Amino acid sequence: MIKPHGAEALNPLLVTNSIEHKHLLTEAEDLPSLLLTSSAAANAVMLGGGYFTPLPGYMNIADALSVAQKMHTVDGLFWPVPILNLTDDTSSIAGVDRIALRDPNVEGEPVIAIMDIESIEELSVEQKNIITEHIYGTLDKSHPGVTVFQAQGNHCVSGPIKVLNLSYFASEFANTFQTAVEIREDISARGWKKVVAFQTRNPMHLAHEELCRMAMERLNADGIAIHMLLGKLKSDDIPASIRDACIRKMVDVYFPENNVLISGYGFDMLYAGPREAILHAIFRQNMGASHLIVGRDHAGIGNYYGPFDAQAIFKKIPDGALEIEIFNADHTAWSKKLNKVVMMREAPDHEPSDYVFLSGTKVREMLSNGIAPPPEFSRPEVAKILMDHYQLTN
């Protein structure tokens, strides 16, 4: 199986030894504590599950700036996005070197991790803007990722952590959420060698389904891992539970048995386009995938990135920085001429009118009115789940 990023073995920071876990929970009762932001809590979950191997914890400002500007840490580890613990108030942890980190996303704000503080630094406005502009490509507050990052505090608390639980993901998405460790074990048990990962934060329409098939066939892959984001999105995105139901129904009805692995990960969407695409590649390598599908507007939003910027950035990274390979996909849509889904670059004789196109707004309007999108766009079983959801929420 493919090696993890920057290491010979995964480095999951979740404490699984019951004696050590109990000891740390007891210790946490007497430690000063810091309430995390949702983003920092999601970072803890990803560190806990091994997805962010080989990182030992949260980065300091020097590493964050180096990652933002050069795509590597001060020590030279290739990494595309700073993994930070930012807060606006450090008064509760001033002068101490070990603290409990509390989860803002679970009732009662339980301890999610224990942290050894290496530094507490203050990000200047200039430094925060440098990081923002390099990661998101803009300082525009209309960009949801920029808004979330800029709203976090300017105090950077760095150091290694030991993770005690995986927040709400393990309980709320018990049948879907998996750590990188668990996915590697699953892939190994299936005997798969070549595995294609498909990233999604949306329900999968027919074009997505066919894109997965194309990638599997062209790469002669053993299986595909549909890996869905389960964390926080922007307000008008479809909830994770609905996306999960849609994807499971599609796979149950339209894929052969035992060639699809459905799982999810606990992270808040960044909408950082090219930089987030590289992060996606790193943690898919860590979970054991040999290939990642990167399509049009991967991890993007609005018009902040070019349609294929997320593919182009992989041509700019150093040789050998990643072992995972990228399957570059074009926009896929139903061809009226050929009566099937095609990649548009592979249909040079087509005009726009030869495709079935529906805007997101139009699809939401149809679903809200109980009208199923055409079968050339969405499987009827999937459309039914989405119609039920929209009619309940409108």
Question: 54 preceded by cis ω (within 30°)?
Answer: yes
- Give the per-residue pLDDT at 361: 74
pLDDT in tens, 380-389: 999 999 999 8
Taking residues 132-146, report their average pLDDT: 97
| Cα 367 to Cα 390: distance, rounded to the nearest angstrom | 6
Nearest to 132 by CA among 82, 62, 201: 82
- Burial of 75 per CB tally in 10 Å (0-12, 13-18, 19+): exposed
Angle between helices 380-393 and 360-368 (to 10 degrees): 70
Percentage of residues in the chain with pLDDT exceeding 70?
A: 100
User: 3-class secondary structure for 371-382?
Assistant: CCCCCCCCCHHH
Residue 202 a catalytic site member: yes
Q: State which H helix or E strand residue 393 sits in.
A: helix 380-393
Q: How many CB atoms lie within 10 A of CB 66?
A: 20
Mean pLDDT, rounded, of the chain: 95
pLDDT of 385: 93
- Please tell me what DSSP assigns to residue 3: P
* pLDDT tier, 188 (very low <50, low <70, confident <90, very high otherwise): very high
Is the distance from CB of 392 to CB of 238 less than 8 angstroms? no
Average the pLDDT over 4-11 and give the result.
Answer: 97
- Catalytic residue among 98, 190, 201, 296, which? 201
184 is catalytic: no
Dihedral angle, C-alpha 155, 159, 160, 165, nearest 10 °: -10
How buried is 313 (Cβ within 10 angstroms: 0-12 exposed, 13-18 middle, 19+ buried)? buried
Instruction: Quote the pLDDT of residue 237.
Output: 76
* Sequential DSSP letters for 170-182: HHHTTTTB--HHH
Q: Rounded CA gap, 262 and 379, in Å?
A: 18
Stretch (H or E) spanning 119: strand 119-122
- The predicted structure's pLDDT at residue 3: 97
DSSP-assigned beta bridge partners for residue 102: 35, 111
Average pLDDT over residues 293-320: 95
pLDDT at 184 over 80: yes
Tell me the average pLDDT across 16-30: 97
**Closest by Cα among 316, 288, 289, 320 to 219:** 289
pLDDT in tens, 71-105: 999 999 999 999 999 999 999 999 999 999 999 99
- Out of 98, 154, 202, 213, the active site residue is 202
Average pLDDT over residues 171-198: 96
Domains and CATH numbers, the chain: 18-170 (3.10.400.10), 176-393 (3.40.50.620)
State if pTM tops 0.85.
yes
Residue 156 binned pLDDT confidence (cut-offs 50, 70, 90): very high
Per-residue confidence (pLDDT) for residue 394, from 0 to 100? 67
Per-residue b or e along 83-120, where b marks 16 or more CB atoms closer than 10 Å to that residue's CB: bbbbbeebeebeeeeebbbbbebeeeeebbbbbebeeb
Sequence-ordered alpha helix ranges (H) in 71-179: 125-136, 144-151, 169-172
pLDDT band for 393, please (50, 70, 90 cuts): confident
State the pLDDT confidence band at 4, using cuts at 50, 70 and 90: very high
Tens digits of per-residue pLDDT, 222-270?
999 999 999 988 777 788 889 999 999 999 999 988 899 999 999 999 9
pLDDT of residue 326: 98
CB-count burial class (<10 Å; 0-12, 13-18, 19+) for 154: middle
Q: Kindly state the DSSP code that residue 161 receives in the 8-state scheme.
A: E
Q: What is the model's pLDDT at position 365?
A: 85
